[in-house]
Amino acid sequence: MENENKKRLAVLVGCNYPNTRNELHGCINDVAAMRGTLVNRFGFDPGNIQLLTDAAAAGSSSSVMPTGANIKKALGAMVDQAKPGDVLYFHYSGHGTRIPSLKPGNPFRQDEAIVPCDFNLITDVDFRQLVNRLPKGASFTILSDSCHSGGLIDKEKEQIGPSHVTEISNTSPSVSSKPKGIPFESILHHLASLTGINTSDIATHLLELFAADASLKFRLPPFELLNMFESLNPDEGILLSGCQANETSADMTNPVMTRGKACGAFSNAVQMVLKEHEADLSNRQVVMLARQVLREQGFEQHPCLYCNDENADATFLCESHISSSL
């Protein structure tokens, strides 16, 4: 068959930050559920799915902690082994944050990052660099269930987001929920407590603590960051974000909707959409239907889609290709 030799690879990261002031409860459940969905619906080989969590999930375990270095190592290895036609998937459930832009001419702009368990931030520049390393013909889908996740692939084209869709929720969620974000000031304070350095420059702290494992955003000179991705052709990066860049995503528990099991509101919405629609869904449809679920549940977070025009209407995780090769 045409697709027999094409691989489907995944890295799934769930950070609950146990026994800390930033503790969440549903993130590991999110990636455990998605692992089952990848295997049972999308034809992923369990051996091609790497799971990184900061605690044991029900029915599974992880020996690799989701530190910044470990997450980037797993993603880099996945991208490096990809061949044309392969389908790559990264699901992140955990805290996100926004940091002041280090790019010249953008003093008031904020950039997006995810917060691994060791606070070694992975930024929009790191995800852009990973996408740029993809071989032609491979696709890389990122689903980030975290606060401020809109725009997490630097310079990716917005398809669904604040510029294209505006929706207001008229209800309040009847669930127990917590935002999946850590303010920049809190991250800075935590890092400063570890380095003992009296500065508000986050790059100084991250480089002191993590050196070559810190984000490219903090290791490259500003002029290199500015010129790094200036002329980009349409690429194969696809971002489904749990919310807009200026919004928070919820970690929730509800006796009815989730049977008392903690989960990320966006991850749960995607699971509901996939269960309710057996037919192939496009990336655009998954995001719009997830928006509808969250609106009906009373959440004021708006999932977004960032990718090229063709991938906006391509099937989520290339499902139609899978069905013809299984």
Tell me which residues are annotated as active site.
95, 147
Whether residue 206 contacts residue 220, with contact meaning beta carbons closer than 8 Å, is answered with no
Token representation of residue 146:
């975290």
Residue 240 carries which DSSP code? Answer: E
Distance CA 303, CA 265 (A): 10
User: Contact 102/222 with Cβ under 8 angstroms?
Assistant: yes
How would you list the strands of the sheet with 96-100, edge to edge?
A: 96-100, 110-114, 122-123
- Which residue from 162, 168, 17, 153 is spatially nearest to 75, judged by alpha carbons? 153
- Is residue 22 within 8 A of residue 10, CB to CB? The reply is no
Q: How far apart are CA 267 and CA 189, in angstroms?
A: 30
- For residue 24, give both structure tokens: 């969440």
Q: Nearest Cα to 240, choosing from 180, 285, 197?
A: 285
